[in-house]
Chain A
């Protein structure tokens, strides 16, 4: 987003008198998804016991994310929720980093971040119902006291809202700062060499100077925000699916091991 003229994403094409439209960010989200699917297919086409080529990278990424997820949620839950969390993580990193290539990051659209956080909200509900049953899920609203029902419901619904606004605000703030800095450097170089006939139009000051800003807002912040989104998702899934069962299973396994030993 290298302009501050309008804040919203550009509309690429519209139909039904402009009431329905497909914007820049939707197109980029589809392209990113397609690239991710193609990379996954290409890198795992010929699976071998001793990996080489793309398979090494795929195994590195998947193994690293699996280690992270199982460290937070425990190995039992990690096996069922790892695929969702890992996909979310990689998709968000690529989406946030589009600013590095001069395009508008997908997550500077509030619709995208709300879509992601609503999926996470339903995932949390699913995890809660799956582990406690529907009765247990409804019962946890009236625990410990029945008059806390409104607070519990507000807590449930404020989580996806704050998640979506956090991602949107951070990435949009970074994009606005980048756009302002590019504009300012262009203006300064116009003042510096604007008198020269043909070369005067080139913003020479924007050549190397914005690199630290690029590094922070297009490389560090995207990874950090994607990491935080997935960490909070994992934490809430872990909290909402009953932790007692895992502990009980673990202790049973320990007992079995002790018996077999």
Chain B
């Protein structure tokens, strides 16, 4: 562990944190959006004439599910491009 500067350590853990942030959030979102899509398909299969309404409601539901993932994405973007910890260190 010799020869590692504090900046390098902070950058390495920032990159790791960015990846883990969006990666772990994506698991939950994938599950949630899959559930949305599953129920949407079930609804259309049961009642094909309501396809338009079901699609509309399903897309809005998926977008609301996605919000937590978008927050995780913004955290990882901030960690990668505008790292706040490096500024503290310098």
Contact = CB atoms under 8 A, between A and B. Distances in A.
A172 B77 contact: yes
A56 to B, nearest CB: 24
Contacts of A224: 59, 63
Interface in A137-165: 162, 165
A91 interface: no
A6 B80 CA distance: 11
Contacts of A6: 81
B68 to A, nearest CB: 9
A232 interface: yes
B81 A166 contact: no
B77 A165 contact: no
Contacts of B77: 7, 172, 176
B70 A170 contact: yes
A176 B64 CA distance: 22
B82 interface: yes
Contact of B59 (A169, A173, A176, A227): A227
Contact of A228 (B63, B71, B73, B82): B63
A6 B60 CA distance: 32
B44 to A, nearest CB: 18
A170 B28 CA distance: 17
Band of interface residues on A = 10 to 19
Interface in A193-245: 224-225, 227-228, 231-232
Interface in A4-34: 6-7
Contact of A169 (B64, B74, B81): B74
A59 B65 CA distance: 34
Interface in B52-68: 56, 59-60, 63-64, 66-67
B60 A169 contact: no
B8 to A, nearest CB: 21
A132 B66 CA distance: 33
Contacts of B74: 165, 168-169
Given A7-B82, A172-B77, A173-B73, A165 B59 contact: no
A165 B67 contact: yes
Nearest to B63: A228
Given A7-B77, A172-B77, A231 B60 contact: yes
Interface of B: 56, 59-60, 63-64, 66-67, 70-71, 73-74, 77, 81-82
Given A166-B63, A166-B70, A170-B70, 13 more contacts: A7-B77, A7-B81, A7-B82, A168-B70, A169-B73, A169-B74, A170-B66, A173-B73, A176-B77, A224-B63, A225-B63, A227-B59, A228-B63
18 contacts: A7-B77, A7-B81, A7-B82, A162-B67, A165-B70, A165-B71, A165-B74, A166-B70, A168-B74, A169-B70, A170-B70, A173-B73, A225-B63, A228-B63, A231-B56, A231-B60, A232-B63, A232-B64
